Amino acid sequence: MSSVTQAPARVGAMRRAGRSVARTASTAALDARLLWRNQFYTVSLVVCVLLGGGLRFFFAPDQAGAVLPVIYLLMVGASTYFIGGAFVLLEKSQDTLVALRTSPLRPRDYLRAKVLVFGSLLAAECTILGAVAFGAAGVERGWALAIGLLALGVLQTAIGVGQSAPHGAVTTFLIPGGALIGTALQLPIFYVFEVGPAWLWYLFPTHGPFLMILGAWRDLDTWQWAYAVGVTVVALLWSLRWARRRLDEHLDWTSR
């Protein structure tokens, strides 16, 4: 194919990509405003400050590398999973999704907006909590902490959104599937406490970003870094694809 015939195709692809980015940004801004109107940011800030203050009181700074990763996965990560799912249910109950399905918005744009907003929110919450509790005590690899937190937020949000897609109420979302899946995602915390065989916790998808977060404070073997990066990438790609397919299947949102 000549460059003359390729040029219009490139221009068309760039325009489609630009429209997709614009739709994602617009939906993310709408989600952010909804969180603001419901005072979610204020509540999150208060909870993070209070929890950080409690950790500062009960634990020494040299324990930050063991305490914070557990808190990040157990509490903040779990909340992102449940909030992501609850947000979809809220939009269902208000018939917002009915309007969105007839708009130019695509399922992938909707999903990107959710993981962008809630993934960023998780990273911000963890940053505030950690700063209040211990500051930057013992952090040797800030890049690993940042990547691990963002990956954890995206992963938990995508799974929460996908899990909530077929449900119409919070109770059916939580019992039993949501509660079981949400709990399973947090089980790698036992790796820190050395409960059970270490290899067992490597079977969970959240152990990839969790290990990367741990690597911000402790030295990891080369194979552990390779595992953390590899599993994180695979888990993110799988969860995003799975969540999009669930949106297509259960919300009658035909991919376009």
What is the per-residue pLDDT for 253?
A: 59
Mean pLDDT by 10 residues, the chain (256 residues): 54 60 82 82 88 91 90 82 83 72 75 87 87 86 92 90 83 74 87 90 93 94 96 95 87 57
| DSSP per-residue letters across 93-114 | HTTHHHHHHTSS--HHHHHHHH
What is the per-residue pLDDT for 256?
A: 46
What is the per-residue pLDDT for 255?
A: 46
User: Using an 8 Å Cβ cutoff, are 154 and 50 in contact?
Assistant: no
E strand or H helix that includes residue 206: none
